[in-house]
Each structure stands twice: as C-alpha cells, then as structure tokens.
Structure 1
Amino acid sequence: MSLSRRLFTLMLLVLLGFSLGIFFIQVNNTRDALAERQRVELSNLAQSLSLALVPHVELGDAASAEALIRATVDGGHVRDARLESVAIATPIAFNVVRESLAPQWFRDLIPMPVESASRELPGGWASLGTISLTGESAQGYDQLWQLAKRLALWLLLGGLITLLIASLVMRRLLRPLERLSSRLNEMETQRFDAPLEETSVAELKGITSAVNRLGQRLQTQFEAQAAQLARLQRQAEEDSVSGLGNRGYLNRAVDEWLSEPMGGSFALLRVSHIEVVYREQGYKGRDALVKAIARKLEDRELAGEAIIAARLANSDFGLLLPETDEARLQEFLTLLAEDIDNLLDANPLVDTPPENCALGAVRREPGMQRTQMFAVADATLRQAIEQGSGVELAPAGGRARPRGEWREIIEKALDSPKGLDFVAQPVLLNDGGELHRELFARLRDGDELHRAGDFLPVIRHFRMGAQFDLRALEWLASYIDRIEVPRLALNLTEETFDDEASYIGLLNWLAAHPRLCKRLDIEVSESIALRHQERIKMLFRHARRLGARGGIDRFARELKELSYLSALRPDYVKIDQAFFKREDVDTELLQSLCMTAHQVESQVIVTRVESEADQERAMSLGADGYQGFVSPAVDVMARLASPAEDMPR
C-alpha cells in the first residue's frame, strides 16, 4: 500500500472514531435530558392531578375522576395511571399503549429510563388517596431517533468534506515525493536526461539533488558508452577519408538488406578523375575531392529515404538505394551523375575537361545473393564506361511479376477473410526459455502461398503498409484463441507512422484489444525509430500500459544514432548475426554494443543464427538470445507440430 493510501486510511479511521464518539456522546446527553424532562413533567402532572381530583374523590364520583385523569394524561408522556382512594370502591387504573417509530435495534442500543411519580390527595388531616403515574418512553425514543438521524447525516457530510480537503492537501504535500518516485521509475524504464525540479519540502531537497546527480551521472555514462561505440564503429566500418562506410560496412548492410523482405537497388559509382587529381595535386587535393563527393552522397534521398553509401576503393563507391520504380531510379541516377560531374568540372582554369563519372545499377530480384548482385553491378558499370553513357541500369531477369499484378493480388488477399496467413519463428533465450515467436506474413492466392519477401516491397511501394498492419492485427484478434504460444511479435511498417490518422488508429485499436496486447510484442526497424522517435516512444509507453512490449529490429545499423535508446527504452533489440561473424569487427565493439543495450534494460537478440557455433559466439559476446534456422518457423495456428513450408524472409 502506498504512503498516501496509508495516510488516507489512518485519517479515515481517526475521523470515524472521532465521529462515533461525538455521535454517542450527543445521543446519550440528549437521552439524559429527555429522561430528566419526563421526570419533571410527570412530577408536575401528578401534583396537578392530586389537587384537581380532591372534589371528585370527596363526592365518590369515580366517573368524573376517571374522565379528568384521561383528559389530563392524553397526549402526554404517561403510559400507566392509577388512582386508589377509600372513597372509591374500585381503584381507577388504565394504560395508554403507543408504539415508537424508532427501530428496535436503536432502542436496544440506547435504552431510555422509565420515570414514575406518585402524589397523595390532600383531605384535611388525612389523605384521600394516591395518584400514581408511569412515564411512556415511545415519544422520547422518537425524538432521540430523529436527532440521531440528523446528527449522523451531518457527521457523514462533514467527514466526507474533511476527507476531500485532507486528500487534496496530502496530495499536494506528497507531490514532491511522488515526483521522486516517478523519476526513479523513469530512470529504470524510460529516460534519465531531464533533471527533476527542486522541491520546497526541506526533508526532500537532499533526495531530489541526489536523484538529479544520479540521473546526470547515468546520462553521462550512457553518452560515453555511445561515444565509445561510435569510435569503435569508425575504426571498424568507416572510411577514414570520406567519412562514409567502408567495404565491410557495405557488405553487412547488403547482407541484412537481402535477408529482409524489402525491395531496392544497388549501384556502383566510379569517379576516375580522383586518380588524376591525386597525380596533379597530391593526397590533399584527392582527399578534398573525396570528401566533397561523400557530402553529395550523404545528402541524397530517394523516395523520401536516405541512401546508404560506402567507399569501396580509391575511386569506387557503393550505393544501396530504397525501393522505387524504374523511371524514378533512372532519373535519380542521372541527376546524381550530373551533380558529381559538375563537382569535378568546378575548376575553370583546367584546359582539358575531366573524365565523367560512371554509374552501374541493378535492381534486387528474388533469390539474389550479394556476390551475384555485386557482379551484375560491376558488369553494368563497365558497360556504362565502354559506351560512354554515364549511367546504365541492368535489365531485369524476367522472373519478377509486374507490380500492378502484385497489387491486385495483395488487395484481393487483404479483402478476403482467409487471404492472410502467418508462420511464427521462435526467439529463444540463452537459458532455454522463449522470448516470443515472431510472425511472418504469407498471402494466399488460390492454392498458392506467397512469401513476405515477394509482396512486402510492393506494399511499401504503393504505401499500403498501414492497411496491411491493421489487417494483420485484426487477423491476430480473430485467431488469438487458436494460437497456443504465450507471446507473439509483429513487425510494423513505416506507413503506419507516416500518417497521423493511421498512428492514432493503431493506438485506439490496441486500447480496444487489451487481451491481445498482453500476448503481443510490437517491433519496428531502427530506421523507423529514428525517423519517428516521438511516435515510437508514445507507442511503446502505451503498449506497456496494456501489457505489451516494444522492440527494435535491425538494430545497430547506424551506431552514430545510438543515443535514441535512452529515450525509447525498448524491451529488446535484434541485431543481424552477420555483425557478429565478421572478422574485421573488433570484439570490443560487439561487447560494447551489448553493454549499451543492457544499460537501458534491453535484451539483445541475434537474428539469422545458422549454427550452434554462431549461437555460442553471440552468447560469449553478451547477447541474451538468438533467432534463426536453428529454430525454424512453424505454422502459427494450432498445427504447431508441423513445420512451415519455408520462411518468408
């Protein structure tokens, strides 16, 4: 129980005891006052009757005496009346029965004393008789009951108002302590870069300062770790002259790209004029030109996405380009070549114009490997140089289905209740447990099932990702009861975060399906997290409140941007095993990468693990789990015993 609840409960108990004490004291005092008033009234009434009955008793008129007694005690506090006299043969006695309106439990709880009074009738030297009266408690109980109800009502209202005021005061007084508690929780699960505002409570000032110092120390430590990673990454994957990635970096990026269901193109750029500049101006002129070309490449975007560029040799650069149509790709490559040619021709004093640059590009096709892609791009580059065209695009292999046809298949499948299907691949932890099972989509076209690698590039090309994500979530909601595994992971597309309506719709959908969220892990790629950091942060926080978890896929592609981890605080990150298998990557870099993720309480999962040797190396460097062909994908439905036909990656 929290401190505020304990204080509130204690105040409630004190107030309840205080109210009960006031209630019983007031009711008992009122009861005593009513009993005393009844005693006085009975005494006065008996005295009056003793004098008024003398004439009737002396005459022996019993009827008149009885009538006088009844008229006198009628409506009063008298229950029994009795007149005994020597002048009247038979004593006059009667009682007035009256039921009290007070409940029996109240009368048992607070008993009312019964008063009585008697007087002798004066008759000279001798008494003529005796009149005796016994009081009636019903009227006293009624008055006491009305008082008790009014008092209880006012005490209840007063208590509620007091509790409300006390609650507001306590909340205000405890607010600095709540901020401290919230801040410490954020330092564990969210972020630690914003200082906590100072408090006016003297007892908490020292704690607030200590928490701020701790947060600053943690932030400094994390920034130092990120800086170390950036330094190690520069040593392992950065070209020292251009600042672009080197051949090892490009190989890793291409391998990861080919392993994902994505489209795009690969291009080789050759700037032969760099060698001419080196011969004429030395390494300073050459390095200045290389840096200028690198800045041109770093600033380029295609279809709203930055391209990936690396320097492969003195005059060669490799470009990894996002998915787009052929006409737009050709236009992009032509403009890029013109910009670089303008850069080379910037010196008007040179008599001989420089040799133009050349570009050879190849579009990704299903089943293509890195060596095959590099070979086709190199052949296309040579063709561009020999023909003097400057830019050449390798012809398609003829195996790819037209995008228009793919779009019809996708729209038909998304509209059909059975057009979408999934397989799930286990993500295993080092201790033998299971983190979750990642879902991979398949489209059903009649009797044929299409892998995600075939249709997801088309979905992204036509910007149908938000529609696809929502359809996948609805499929999960429909079949969640037939899925036996505890947790599932779903990778969302960028289109869901590009549009405000789609993003809000995702949050609302998750809030409307809390039972599914308790078994769901939401993943986004690192590139999406970098472009939509605020929305991803809000999504992860919203998902955690509903019982879901958030993860980052394709982690550590951009180590220079690693500081986003402290803001997002993902529950896990997934990194491709190619990063761990490269001999040119220092072990210290890999260990630092895992340590940085662990510092923000994120588990590190290595994907595409193909053998036990890969698994052991990843574990030795600090990874927490693995995913790959050592634990193949299976059907996500109840048929968990039968392996899937193939992995849609």
Structure 2
Amino acid sequence: MTLYRQLFTWMLAIFFLLILAVTGIELSTTRNFLLTQQTAEVNNTINSMGLALAPYLEDDDKVATESVINALFDGGFYQEVRLKMLSDGSEIVRQYPVTVEGVPNWYIALDLFPVITEERTFTSGWLQLAEVKVVSHPGYAYREMWRATIQLGIWIGVLFIIAMLVIAIQLSRSLRPLKTITDRAQDIARNKFNSEPIPLPPTTELKTVVKAINQMSNQLEAYFEQQAKEADRLREHAYRDTVSGLGNRSFFVGQLKSWLAESAIGGLVMAKVDLITDTYQNQGFEQGDSLVSQFSKKLNTTISDADFTASRISKDEFVILAPNCSAEDLQVMGESLLSIVTDMQHDPMGISPPKVAIGLAVNSSENRDASQLLAQVDNALTQARNNPNHPISMIDQTANDSSMGKQQWKTLILDAIAHDWFKFKYQPASNSDQSVLHQEVFTAIERGEDYYGAGHFLGAVEQLELGESFDRYVVAHMIERLSDDPKLGPLAINLTQNSVTNASFIRWLTSVMQKHRDLAGRLFFEIPESVFVRYPDHVSLLTEQAHRFNFGFGVDNYGRNFQSLDYLNKFKPSYVKIDFAYTSNLDDEAQSHVLASICRTAHNLNITTIATRVETEAQLNKLSELFVNGFQGFIFEKKLENHG
C-alpha cells in the first residue's frame, strides 16, 4: 500500500471514529431528553388527572370519573390507564393499541426507551379515594428519535464526503513533492538521469531529501557520461584513425571477418590517393592531415547504406566494405571517389590525370577467404594504374555465375511474400546458465529446390526499398505464431533501416503493439546501431511506442559506429548485440579492454550485452569476464540440443 493510501485511510478512519463518537453523544443526549420529557409528561398528566377527578371521586360519581379519564387519555401516548375506587373496590380500565408509525421494527427492537409506569393514590384530606396506574407508550419518543437519527445520518454523510474530499486534496498537495521524489528515485533505479532537477518543496524535511536526490542524480549522470566518454576514447584509440575519423586497419579487418562469416556477398572498394602522398611530401604533415580529413568527410557522403563501413588502412589508402552491394553500385561508388579526388586537385583545365587509383572487387558467397579477396582488390588497384586517365578497375567473381539482378530479386521477394515462400528458424541467445534470453528469427526463401538465406536477399530488400513490406510480413507471421503457441518465445525480429525510417511502418507497428499488448515481453525488435546514430528522430518515434506498450528492443552491431554511446541512456534498449569486430580476437589485450569498456557502459545501465558467434568454452569464459552476459552461437545451440 502506498503512503498516500495509508495516510488517507487512517485519517478517514480517525475522522469517522470522531464523527461516530459525536453522533453517539448526540443521540444519547436526545434519548435522555426524550426519556425525561416522557417521564415529566406522565407525571403532569397524573397531577392534572388528580385535580380533575377530585370532586367526582368525593361524590363517588363513576360516570363523570370515566368521562374525565376518556377525555384526558384519548389520543395520548399511553398503553394502559387503571383507576381503582377504594370506596367499593371497582376499577376503570382503559387500554390503547401499541403502534408506532413511521419507525422501522428493527429500530424499535433496540429497546431504547423503557416503559414508564406511574402509580399514585388520590386523597381528600386524610381520606384515600382511589388508586391510579398509568403505563406510558414510547411511540412519540421512538418517532422523534428516529427523525433525529435520520437527520444526523444525513449530516454525517455530507460531512464525511466533504472531509474525504478535503483530506484527499490536502494530502495530494502535501505529498506531491514526495511523489516527485519517488518518480525520480525510480528513474535513477532505471539509470535515467536526463530529467530536470526536482523543485524544492515548501516542507523543510523534504527539502533535504530533494537536494540529496538532485545531487545524486547529477553525480550519477556525470559518472555515466564520463564512463561512456572513456569507452569512446578507448574504442577510438584502438579502432579509429585519429586524422580521418574513419576506422583503422584493425577495425577494417574485424569488419571484413564479420562480413565474410555472415554472407560474404557484396564487395570492396579500395582507393590509393596519391594526391595525399604528394601533399605530405611537398607541403608537410599539417596540410596532409587537413587533406585526409577533407577527403574522409566527402568519402562519408558517398556511403548511403547503413551497413557500409569506410576505413583508412594506411597513409594514403582507404577501403569501403559494402555488404550486399552489386557490381553496378560498386562502379557508381568508384566513380564518386574519382570525382572527389578530381575536384580536390584544383585543376580547372582538366589536364592532369587523377592522382588516385581505385580498385573494385565483387565477391560471391562461395569465397570466404579474406586474404584472397584482399589480393583481388589489390590486383584491381594495379590494373587501375594502367589506365591513368580513368584509374578504375573491377574484378567481379560473380560475372560468370548465375547471380540475379535487382529486378529478379525484386520479383522473387514480392512473390515470396505473396506465396509464403519464406521459412523461419530461431537461434537462441542465452546467458551463462543456459537460460534462453530470446530467440533471434532468421528468414530464408525456399522455392522448390532453390534456397536463399537472408544474406542473399537482405541487401536487395534495402536497396529496392522493400523493407517495409518484408518487415510487415515477418512481424505479422511471428505474432501469429506467438499467439498460437504460448510456449514460444521470446522472439527477436531484425528490422531494416528502410522500415525504421518509414512513418507508415511506425504507425502500423504501433497499432500492432497496441492490439497485441499481451505479447509484450515475448516479442523484441532489433535495430541496427547505425540507424540510432544517423536517424535518431525516426528511431525515437518507434522506441517511444515500444516503451509505451512494454515491448523490448535491441541494438544490433553495437559499437560499430564511431559515435558516442550516450544514445543508450536516451533510448534505453533492452539489450545490445556486440559487433563481431570487438569479439573476433579476444587474445588481443587492447581489444579486450575496449570490449570490457563498451560492455560496462551498457551493463551499468542495466542493458543486457550479447556476443554472437560464440563457438568454444574458452570464448564463453573469456567473454563472461568482460561484462558480457548474453551469448549466441553454435556452442549454445549444441548445448540446447543435447539438453533436449
């Protein structure tokens, strides 16, 4: 029970007891008054009766005596009148029916008024004339008492309602600062510190508490900001080129391994910018660094896809990793880089050849060898130098295979949605105790004997802007399965960038979450980190609705983008899935420090950190020491199969 309810209940109870006591005293006073009044009336009636009957009793006139008795007691509140003539022992008896109109029987049964009986002897001098006995009837007293009870009940009810409203209003006003303190304490417990300071309340005691809460909130916020910045510094030191702001060679190698392990479909763009080399040699390091920074900024503008990553792997060499990218798209990207360098040469006459060589390598899913792919792009770079006026060359491994074009992929994906050719499988993410945190949904297209994994068509989904249709299909089917099977889940569905940045999809997903609130806790949505970084306004629309209906969401490729990790505190995801570049080489001490730092940042915000592709016990044990508390990979699939 809340403090407000406790105080409200006790204050009402005390007020009710006081009112009850006052009511009891008032009713007791009324009863005593009516009882005294009734006794006095009986005495007065007997006295009047003695005066009226005296002459008739002396004359022994029974007829006149009886007439006087009838006149005195007719219509009064008396049960019985008995007169005994002492001269001859005769009696005159009058009895009246006992009825009380307008008073409930249960109230009369309370026996509030005793029957008053008065006996007296009438005399004349020393001569006793008659004996009289009068038994009162309490009907009038009950009627007046019942009327007083009703009036008091009405007033008590009105006063109780007024008191209840006044107490509720005053308590709410008095405890409003306490409620604010409680809400802020709950925010702090959830590691939410970006609220405005609590205004100081008028109550002296609460002022001290509010000051302490505000100070603690500020200190914790500063601590987490400092920790996030420290993680950013470590990450940048290990994986970021300080001059260009792009990833360094270590970062590129990690991303390359991750891509080759996942799908290996796409390509590489490598540019060797001789203009930068000449600038370093002829104008010095300051001008060379300035040119590198300028080129890197323009390079980033050519990267439109959230999955593309650019790195600087040497003084004048840059590489772009482009998953799920076609040969035509790579060629367009190469032409863009050529234009950037041409513009930077400041040769309005266009006489000098471009001081750059660009090699393009398109990879197929069969080639998962990093050294072979790098050798191919180096060969393409060498071939590009043979054509100084247009130094771009491509080596396409998929040129002689049966890979499909964009329109063929579009037709296949739309047909798969229309004819339910999609197949789903689930990969569990578990903690170290093998308890399943959730199961990630993997999608594939199966048409006859042809099988296409997600790595084959997800790039086409993004490029062809089919993400909204595809994600609607997957979400609808998973909701149907969760509704049919209460034991299934929780499930995590990957959302495409195209969907998360689409207002129509956000509205649709909001209505779905509102309609299926019972599935909250059994359904998660996984969003790439690059979308959080590049499109924070779009993501906030979706995450606000997810928080509103208690649906969880996660961050995919956590740590891939060289941006501050402060977005974690803003969006409050349920979990983050660590980018494979941070877990690919756990024997590297520097990499382990960076991994521990970025995981600690999430861990201290009560966000679950999940590592993917965990294959061995050694990996599991090492990751457990680095603030990783969720694992996804072959080792847990095997354990769950053995356990089953």
**Could you say which TM-score interval applies, normalised by the shorter chain?**
0.7 to 0.9
Q: Hey, what does 1:270 align to over in structure 2? A: 272
Output the CA distance in 2 between the equivalents of 1:419 and 1:153: 74
Q: Hey, what does 2:137 align to over in structure 1? A: 136
1:124-273 superposed matches below 5 A:
126=127, 128-199=129-200, 200-257=202-259, 266-273=268-275
Q: Hey, what does 1:31 align to over in structure 2? A: 31
Q: Hey, what does 2:77 align to over in structure 1? A: 77
Q: Are the equivalent residues in 2 in contact too, given 1:238–1:246 (CA < 8 A)?
A: yes
Question: CA separation of 1:577/1:253 partners in 2, compared to 1, >3 Å: closer, same or farther?
Answer: closer
Q: Hey, what does 2:354 align to over in structure 1? A: 355
Q: Are the equivalent residues in 1 in contact too, given 2:527–2:554 (CA < 8 A)?
A: yes
Q: Are the equivalent residues in 1 in contact too, given 2:261–2:368 (CA < 8 A)?
A: no
Question: CA separation of 1:627/1:132 partners in 2, compared to 1, >3 Å: closer, same or farther?
Answer: same
Task: Output one character per residue of 1:87-113: Cα deviation in whole Å (capped at 9) or x when no partner.
Answer: 794532312121454445544557223
1:563-574 superposed matches below 5 A:
563-574=566-577
Deviation at 1:189, TM superposition (A): 0.9
Structure 1: which amino acid aligns with 2:209?
I
Output the CA distance in 1 between the equivalents of 2:33 and 2:354: 118
Q: Hey, what does 1:620 align to over in structure 2? A: 625
Deviation at 1:601, TM superposition (A): 1.9
1:331-342 superposed matches below 5 A:
331=332, 333-342=334-343
Output the CA distance in 1 between the equivalents of 2:408 and 2:54: 124
Q: Are the equivalent residues in 2 in contact too, given 1:273–1:354 (CA < 8 A)?
A: no
Question: CA separation of 1:365/1:157 partners in 2, compared to 1, >3 Å: closer, same or farther?
Answer: farther
Task: Output one character per residue of 1:329-365: Cα deviation in whole Å (capped at 9) or x when no partner.
Answer: 655543442132110226x7x9962534343445665
**Number of residue pairs matched by the alignment:** 634
Q: Secondary structure at the match of 2:628?
A: coil
Output the CA distance in 2 between the equivalents of 1:446 and 1:143: 95
Deviation at 1:238, TM superposition (A): 1.9
Q: Hey, what does 1:459 align to over in structure 2? A: 461
Q: Hey, what does 1:647 align to over in structure 2? A: none
Deviation at 1:500, TM superposition (A): 3.9
Q: Are the equivalent residues in 2 in contact too, given 1:302–1:321 (CA < 8 A)?
A: no
Output the CA distance in 2 between the equivalents of 1:23 and 1:415: 77
Structure 1: which amino acid aligns with 2:251?
Y
Q: Are the equivalent residues in 2 in contact too, given 1:50–1:131 (CA < 8 A)?
A: no
Deviation at 1:158, TM superposition (A): 1.9
1:590 paired to 2:589: no
Q: Secondary structure at the match of 1:91?
A: strand
- After TM superposition, the structure 1 stretch with the greater mean CA deviation from structure 2, 202-211 or 45-54, is 45-54
Output the CA distance in 1 between the equivalents of 2:223 and 2:606: 14
Deviation at 1:250, TM superposition (A): 1.8
- The one of 531, 534, 547 equivalent to 1:528 is 531
Q: Hey, what does 2:22 align to over in structure 1? A: 22
Deviation at 1:11, TM superposition (A): 0.8
- After TM superposition, the structure 1 stretch with the greater mean CA deviation from structure 2, 247-256 or 544-553, is 544-553
Q: Are the equivalent residues in 1 in contact too, given 2:492–2:523 (CA < 8 A)?
A: yes
Question: CA separation of 1:535/1:281 partners in 2, compared to 1, >3 Å: closer, same or farther?
Answer: closer
1:36-115 superposed matches below 5 A:
36-51=36-51, 69=69, 72-85=72-85, 89-99=90-100, 101-109=102-110, 111-115=112-116
Question: CA separation of 1:273/1:161 partners in 2, compared to 1, >3 Å: closer, same or farther?
Answer: same
1:487 paired to 2:490: yes
1:465-544 superposed matches below 5 A:
465-480=467-482, 481-485=484-488, 487-533=490-536, 543=546
Q: Share of identical aligned residues, percent?
A: 28
Output the CA distance in 1 between the equivalents of 2:313 and 2:101: 105
Question: CA separation of 1:519/1:306 partners in 2, compared to 1, >3 Å: closer, same or farther?
Answer: closer
Q: Are the equivalent residues in 2 in contact too, given 1:409–1:445 (CA < 8 A)?
A: no
TM-score (norm 1): 0.84
Q: Hey, what does 1:600 align to over in structure 2? A: 605
Deviation at 1:643, TM superposition (A): 12
Q: Secondary structure at the match of 2:583?
A: helix
Q: Are the equivalent residues in 1 in contact too, given 2:557–2:579 (CA < 8 A)?
A: yes
Q: Secondary structure at the match of 2:443?
A: strand
Question: CA separation of 1:55/1:325 partners in 2, compared to 1, >3 Å: closer, same or farther?
Answer: farther
Q: Secondary structure at the match of 2:158?
A: helix
Q: Secondary structure at the match of 1:134?
A: strand
Q: Are the equivalent residues in 1 in contact too, given 2:309–2:321 (CA < 8 A)?
A: yes
Q: Secondary structure at the match of 2:558?
A: coil
Consecutive unaligned residues in structure 1, runs of 5 or more = 635-639, 645-649
Question: CA separation of 1:613/1:82 partners in 2, compared to 1, >3 Å: closer, same or farther?
Answer: same
Question: CA separation of 1:587/1:27 partners in 2, compared to 1, >3 Å: closer, same or farther?
Answer: same
Output the CA distance in 1 between the equivalents of 2:518 and 2:290: 59
Structure 2: which amino acid aligns with 1:82?
R
Output the CA distance in 1 between the equivalents of 2:533 and 2:485: 36
Question: CA separation of 1:295/1:459 partners in 2, compared to 1, >3 Å: closer, same or farther?
Answer: closer
Deviation at 1:592, TM superposition (A): 1.7
Q: Hey, what does 1:313 align to over in structure 2? A: 314
Q: Are the equivalent residues in 2 in contact too, given 1:577–1:609 (CA < 8 A)?
A: no
Output the CA distance in 2 between the equivalents of 1:237 and 1:367: 28
Structure 2: which amino acid aligns with 1:176?
P
Q: Are the equivalent residues in 2 in contact too, given 1:78–1:135 (CA < 8 A)?
A: yes
1:389 paired to 2:359: no
- After TM superposition, the structure 1 stretch with the greater mean CA deviation from structure 2, 433-442 or 390-399, is 390-399
Q: Secondary structure at the match of 1:439?
A: strand
Question: CA separation of 1:532/1:289 partners in 2, compared to 1, >3 Å: closer, same or farther?
Answer: closer
1:401-440 superposed matches below 5 A:
401-411=404-414, 413-414=416-417, 421-440=423-442
Deviation at 1:134, TM superposition (A): 2.4
